[in-house]
Structures are given as C-alpha cells and as structure tokens.
Amino acid sequence: MSTSPQTDAPTGPHEHVLHRISEELAVTFTGVFAAETIERYVFESYAALARTAKIKTYLPILTRRFAQDRLNALAHAKGMRPSGVPEVLFVCVQNAGRSQMAAALLRDLTQGTINVRSAGSMPAEHLDENAVTAMGEVGVSLGEEFPKPLTDDVVQAADVVITMGCGDTCPIYPGKKYEDWNISDPAELDLDGVRAVREALRARVEKLASGLITMP
C-alpha cells in the first residue's frame, strides 16, 4: 500500500488547475490544515490517480474529490473535524467491483448515518462494467465513482475496515474492527455471477449496518 503517494506524475497543463483546487480546499479547511499541507495532498492525489488513468481529461475533477475526501478522513482521524457518524472502509484489489458495490449498497441503505469509503490496493483504470450494470438494476448508481488507491489516512479514519481479496496490504491500527469477506471477484464473472455477488454483499452489508446503527 502507498501510504503517502509521491508526486511523480507530471501535471503539465493541469498544474494551474491543481493550484486553484488547493486554494479552494484551503478555504474549506480553514483552521484545520495549513495551505502547504492541502497543496501537497492535492498534488499527491493527482499523481496517484494519474498512474492508472489513460485519459486525463477528468483528472482534475477526480483529484479534487479524492483530495477532499482524504483531507476529511485525516481531519476525522486526528480529531480536528470528527464526522460524528461511524466510518466504514471497504478495500479490495482493484476498487473496481466488490468494494465499490459494497460501499454503494451501504450508502444507499444508511442514507448518511454511516460515512462510507472504498479503496484498492492496486486500483484499476475504471469500474467493472458488469458491476455498474448489476447495481443499476437495483437502483443504485455507480456513475460518479472511480477506482482510488488505498491511503493511510482513510484507514486511520475508519472504525470498521472490510477487506476482500487484498491480503495483508491494509495496515492494522488498534481500536478498529477488521473483517475479511470471502466474496468472488466480479472481474472473473459474467453478469449473472455479478448479480449473485451483489446479493451476497447486500446480505453482509445489512448485517454490518445493523451492528453500527439502529435500523428504522
């Protein structure tokens, strides 16, 4: 796992956009993080996402979302801006199937009463098409999601870490609950197989949610 991505990808024409994103996030995190910290997170997040992106047109938009989420996680982990709700992190290898599906199901089920993230130990370029289709069939969209690398800040922020097929790439922190779910990789299945994965995840997610919040 890359706990602090190095800025080793050229920013090229996006550099001025990344500086603007940094300035905007500095306003969002006024009194929480220094401007230098925010800029470092923005440029590191861009570099991390650029490693798997063949088409970089939308990288600045994704970078902003990724950097802001990481900064929120860091602020929560350090007690500087706690979220006030349970934090759950789903981790698989590519963050293109299982972890994205589980995260989307939990978000849909709990409607903001649990903060949910997902990440991959070796993120793919894009989401698995069958995973997107299978989730759309039950009214849960993955259209705004994208594979994200696993970073130390999101692990530190989590109360519960669910791993699926990524071995020991996730660091262990005391006081957190860890579970490993034995779920098939959608990348190796046809659409019917991915539908079965969706239902297996739904059952596990419902059980997880019931242990974290009082269901209506």
Q: Mean pLDDT over residues 68-96, rounded?
A: 96
Give the active site residue among 103, 170, 197, 205.
170
Looking at 18, 50, 88, 92, which residue is catalytic?
A: 92
The pLDDT of residue 139 is: 97
Is residue 52 scored above 70 in pLDDT?
Answer: yes
Confidence category of residue 6, pLDDT binned at 50, 70, 90: very low
Question: Is there a contact between 98 and 185 (Cβ–Cβ < 8 Å)?
Answer: yes
Q: Return d(Cα 122, Cα 147) in angstroms, integer.
A: 9
User: In the annotation, is 102 catalytic?
Assistant: no
pLDDT at 13: 77
pTM for the structure as a whole: 0.91
pLDDT grade, residue 170 (50/70/90)?
confident
Instruction: Tell me if residue 183 is catalytic.
Output: no
CATH (residue range 85-216): 3.40.50.2300
- Cβ partners under 8 Å of residue 67, min gap 6: 21, 25, 38, 41, 42, 44, 45, 46
> pLDDT per residue over 118-145, tens digit each?
999 999 999 999 999 999 999 999 999 9
Domain assignments of the chain as residue spans, ordered by start: 9-82, 85-216
pLDDT category of residue 216 using cuts at 50, 70 and 90: very low
pLDDT band at 11 (very low <50, low <70, confident <90, very high): low
Half-sphere exposure of 203 (CA within 13 A, CB side): 7
Choose, from 48, 49, 160, 166, the residue flagged as catalytic. Answer: 166
Active site annotation includes 170:
yes
Burial class (CB in 10 A: 0-12, 13-18, 19+), 38: buried
* Architecture (CATH level 2) of domain 9-82: Orthogonal Bundle (1.10)
- Check if the beta carbon of residue 194 is closer than 8 Å to that of residue 128: yes
Average pLDDT over residues 74-86: 96
